[in-house]
Structure 1
Amino acid sequence: MNVMALMKALPGSVAQGLIWGLLAIGVYITYKVLDYADLTVDGSLCTGGAVAVMMMLGGYNPYLALIGATVAGMAAGLVTGVFHVTFGIPAILSGILTQLGLYSVNMRIMGKSNQAISVDEYPLILSLRDISNTIIVSTIFCAVVIGILYWFFGTELGRSIRATGNNENMSRAQGINTKTMKIVGLMISNGLVGLSGALYAQYQGNADVNMGRGAIVIGLAAVIIGGVLFGKIFRNFAMRLVGVIFGAILYFVVITVVLQLGMETTDLKLVSALIVAAFLAVPYMRGQYYVKHGKKGGKANA
C-alpha cells in the first residue's frame, strides 16, 4: 500500500464522510428514533441533488437551491409516510415504492440521466477542487443540523416522535397521534437526505440518476459504526448524532484504505455489505461473550 497516496486521499474521505453524515443522521432518525425501516433514501438523495443542480442551472442562489432540495426530500418522506399510515402499506414496501417512483421523478427533474454543474461557472458552496473548504463548510452544516435537531427533539413535538418510536401503543394511549408523528419523522429524515444530496451534487460537480444507489447501506453503516464505537461514550442525543458523523467518516476512511490495498472499485458494494455485517455482529458477539463470562464468574463464585 502506498502510504503517501493514502494520506493524500484521507482529506477527501473526511469531506465525503461529513457530507454523507447528514444522510446518516436522517437514517438515524428513522432507524433509531422512529424505529422505522425506511428505504426511501436511495431515491431522495438523488432528488435533493437533482433539484439543487437544476435550480442553480436556472440561476437560483446555491443556498436557495439547498432549501429547495431539502423541501423536495421532505416531500418524498411525506409520500412514504402517506403510503404507510393512510394506505396501510408496510414500512419497507412503502419506502421501496417511493424509491422506485422517484427514479422517474428524478429523470423528469433533470431531463436526462446526468446534469453537470461547474464550479468555474456557478458559485458552488463546496467543490471537489477545494477539499479544505469542503471540510469546513460541511462541518458547519453538520454542527448547525445537530444543534437544530437537539433543540427540536426537546420540544413537545420532538418528544412525541421519540415516544412513538419507543412504544407506539403506549404513545397512542397517551393521546399522541402516532400516524402524524411517523409522517413528520419521515419528512425530517428525508429532508436531511435531500440536503445531503444537494451538497454531494455540488461536491462532485453533477447530479446523476444513480447517485443514490446503495445510499441506505452507507447510512446504516455510519449509524451502526457510530453506535458500536461511540455508543457508550456519547450518551447525550446531540453527541450520538456526532457519533453518527464520525461513523460516516470512518466508513469512507475504511473504503479509501481498501482501495489503496488494490481492491477493484467494483467490489465496493461487497465491502460495504461486509462492513455493515461486521459492525452489526459486534453487539451480539459482545453480548454472548458477557453472558458466558457471567456464567463462568457465577460458577467460580459459587
Structure 2
Amino acid sequence: MSLIAFMGALETGLIFGLVALGVYISFRILDFPDLTVDGSFPLGAGVAAVAIVSGVDPWIATFMATFAGALAGALTAWLNVKLGIMNLLASILVMIALYSINLRIMGKPNIALLGETTVISAVENGPIAYYFAIPMLLAVIVAVVMVLVALLLQSEFGLSLRATGSNQRMARSNGVNTGLATILGMALANALVGLAGALFAQSQGSADITMGVGVIVIGLAAVIGGEALLSTRTVVLAVIAAVVGAVLYRLAIAFALNADVIGLKAQDLNLVTALLVTIAIVLPRFKKQRSPKSKAV
C-alpha cells in the first residue's frame, strides 16, 4: 500500500471516528439501536454542500450540518419516547424519510464541491503536502470532539444519559427525566454523525445521496473492533477505543483492497466489511475462553 493510500485511509478513518462516537453513544450509552445514521450522515453532507455552494462560510455550513444531524436524532427519539414506537422501528422510519428529505435539500442526487472553499481548503495549499495536512487537520478536529464528548459523558448530564441506558426505572426513581435524556442523547449522537458527513463531503469533494448506505455497519464495526482491542473500563477509554477502532477498520479495508496477494477488488468491500465485523464480534469471546481465569474456573 502506497503512502498516499495509507494517508487517505487514515483521513477517512478519522472522519468515521466521529460516526463511531455517535454509534457508541446511541448503542452503548443509551442502549438505543439506531439506524438513523444511514440518513443523518448524507443529511450532514447535503446540508453542508448546499450551504457552501450558496456562499456560506464552510465552518458555519459544517455547524449547520451538525445541527441538522441533531434534529434527525431528536426526531427518532421523539417518535420512541412520545409516540411509543419501538426504538429500532422509529430509527428505520426516520432513515427512510431522510432519503426524500435529503433529495429535497440537495435538489439533485449529487453536489460537487470542486473549486469551492471548504474547511479543507485552508490546508490544501499550505507548506505541508496535502496528504499529510488534511489528516492532521482532521486529527485536531476529532481530538477536540473526543475531549468534549468524554467531559460531557462524565458530567451530571452524562451520568443521567448512562443511567437512562443502563436502567430507566432506576434512573426515573432518582429524578432523571429519561425521556428528555433519550432525546438529547440521540440528538448528540446524530449531531456527531452529521458533522462526520459534512467533513466527509468536503474531504471527498462532493455530497451524494447514497453516501450513507452502510454507515451504521462501519460505525458498529469501529465500536466493536475498538472494544475488542482496547480496554473500555472508563468512558475516556471507551471514547478512545471507538475512534481507534474506526481508524484501524479503514486501514484494514485499505490494506485488503490494495494488497495484490489477496486479490480483492472494490466490489469486495462489503465482503471485507462483513468479515471484519464477524472477527470483531468473535474475538472478545475467544480471548475470554483462552484467558487463564476462564481455564481455572
TM-score tier (shorter): over 0.9
1:155 Cα deviation (Å)?
A: 2.3
Q: Which is further off, 264-273 or 128-137?
A: 128-137
Q: Residue 288 of structure 2 contacts residue 294 of structure 2 at CA under 8 Å; is this kept in 1? A: no
Code of the aligned partner of 1:157:
F
In 2, the alpha carbon distance for the partners of 1:199 and 1:296 equals: 47
> Mind listing any 5+ residue stretches in structure 1 that lack a counterpart?
none
Question: Percent identity of the aligned residues?
Answer: 40
Match of 2:251 in 1: 253
Match of 2:127 in 1: none
Mark the structure with the bigger radius of gyration.
1
Match of 2:46 in 1: 50
- Given candidates 5, 13, 18, the residue that maps to 1:22 is 18
1:295 Cα deviation (Å)?
A: 7.0
Secondary structure at 1:210's aligned position in 2? coil
Check if 1:192 corresponds to 2:192.
Answer: yes
Code of the aligned partner of 2:276:
I
In 2, the alpha carbon distance for the partners of 1:295 and 1:25 equals: 31
- Given candidates 211, 227, 240, the residue that maps to 2:238 is 240
RMSD over aligned Cα atoms: 1.7
Match of 2:139 in 1: 139
Check if 1:76 corresponds to 2:77.
Answer: no
What TM-score comes out, normalization by structure 2 length?
0.92
Q: Residue 28 of structure 1 contacts residue 223 of structure 1 at CA under 8 Å; is this kept in 2? A: yes
1:67–1:173 CA distance, 2 compared to 1 (3 A): same
In 1, the alpha carbon distance for the partners of 2:51 and 2:153 equals: 31
In 1, the alpha carbon distance for the partners of 2:227 and 2:119 equals: 30
Code of the aligned partner of 2:111:
Q
1:297 Cα deviation (Å)?
A: 3.7
Match of 1:275 in 2: 276
Check if 1:124 corresponds to 2:157.
Answer: no
Q: Which is further off, 143-152 or 197-206?
A: 143-152
In 1, the alpha carbon distance for the partners of 2:180 and 2:74 equals: 10
Secondary structure at 2:111's aligned position in 1? strand
Code of the aligned partner of 2:96:
L
In 1, the alpha carbon distance for the partners of 2:149 and 2:222 equals: 18
Match of 1:156 in 2: 156
In 1, the alpha carbon distance for the partners of 2:86 and 2:131 equals: 41
In 2, the alpha carbon distance for the partners of 1:285 and 1:169 equals: 34
Q: Residue 126 of structure 1 contacts residue 133 of structure 1 at CA under 8 Å; is this kept in 2? A: no
Residues 180-219 of structure 1 mapped to structure 2, 5 A cutoff: 180-219=180-219
Q: Residue 6 of structure 1 contacts residue 256 of structure 1 at CA under 8 Å; is this kept in 2? A: no
In 1, the alpha carbon distance for the partners of 2:286 and 2:150 equals: 32
Secondary structure at 2:255's aligned position in 1? helix
Q: Residue 150 of structure 2 contacts residue 239 of structure 2 at CA under 8 Å; is this kept in 1? A: no
1:296–1:195 CA distance, 2 compared to 1 (3 A): closer
Check if 1:64 corresponds to 2:46.
Answer: no
What TM-score comes out, normalization by structure 1 length?
0.91
Q: Which is further off, 190-199 or 84-93?
A: 84-93
> Mind listing any 5+ residue stretches in structure 2 that lack a counterpart?
125-129
Q: Which is further off, 125-134 or 18-27?
A: 125-134
Number of residue pairs matched?
Answer: 288
Q: Which is further off, 185-194 or 80-89?
A: 80-89
In 2, the alpha carbon distance for the partners of 1:276 and 1:15 equals: 21
List structure 1 runs of 4+ shifted beyond 6 angstroms.
none
